[in-house]
Amino acid sequence: MKDKRPAPERDLNLTPPCVILDRPQLADNIGAVARVMANFGLHELRLVAPRDGWPQERAWSMSSGANWPLDEAKVFATVADAIADLKHVYATTARPRETQLPIVTPRGCADTLYRDAHNHTKTGLLFGAERAGLETSDIALCQGIITIPVDPHFQSLNLAQAVNIVLYEWRLQVLDAPKPEFTQNMHAPADLNIVHGLYGQLEDELEKAGFFFPPEKKDSMVRNLRVALGRARFTEQEVRTFRGVVTALTKGRGKVLARRAETQEKDGD
């Protein structure tokens, strides 16, 4: 398979971020995003439930020849699916919701993106639909929020323009960065689908336990949990540990002890 990374990314052996568009409405914008990706050396595009289906010819005609991100774009049903194999995702939004995720500027996140790229920690840049933006529940699946410093009196930034700014900062970081000697003293975070498995287990159990009360608060309670856990960037081992924790907590300490005792009794025979 041909290495699609441009020279600096290839020479530095980086694993660059992918671009994820959530429910994009206009094929024009998808094409414009592909063009910007080509301008700044990225190639992996993921689409979550594009409004008018996929492929759409108009995207290609708007990309000015930057066809490769479109040719290989992958389509997903949900944001969770689209980011399942990633380890760190930034959501871009002009109006950061009240959430406990770190909020950074495009410039502020470029360094982190670069470090992850250098460590082959696969990252994603998530952008919302043209008018609606991102759902708060999808933002809660991410590990950080990028906000572009537009004038508060006119915040309506075109989708491709938002991508443009973030990828421009990525590119500058790649061009400016000396080959860094990051010390990789931490294990890589787990793929997000693994983390989401933990969330699901936890929330199912909490549901059964009547934790989400009153019911109309459930969505925001879930989001707050996910955000708080997400910031921890669990490793796979830690996810396993915490799944065990949830199991232990729900099955009851007594049962675990009972089973252990039972096993020991057998072993003792």
Residues that bind a copy of itself (CB under 8 A): 6-7, 32, 35-36, 38-41, 64-66, 105, 107, 148-158, 160-161, 164-165, 168, 171-172, 175
Min CB(97)–a copy of itself separation in Å: 20
Nearest to a copy of itself of 162, 202 (CB atom): 162
Min CB(175)–a copy of itself separation in Å: 6
The answer to whether residues 64 and 34 touch, using CB atoms and an 8 Å cutoff, is no
Strand partners, 45: 19
Helix (H) or strand (E) holding 125: strand 123-127
Min CB(158)–a copy of itself separation in Å: 6
Distance CA 215, CA 212 (A): 6
Min CB(59)–a copy of itself separation in Å: 14
From the number of C-beta atoms within 10 Å of its C-beta (0-12, 13-18, 19+), residue 215 rates as exposed
Nearest to a copy of itself of 3, 216 (CB atom): 3
Angle between helices 27-39 and 159-176 (to 10 degrees): 10
Distance CA 55, CA 149 (A): 33
Nearest to a copy of itself of 119, 161 (CB atom): 161
Nearest to a copy of itself of 34, 198 (CB atom): 34
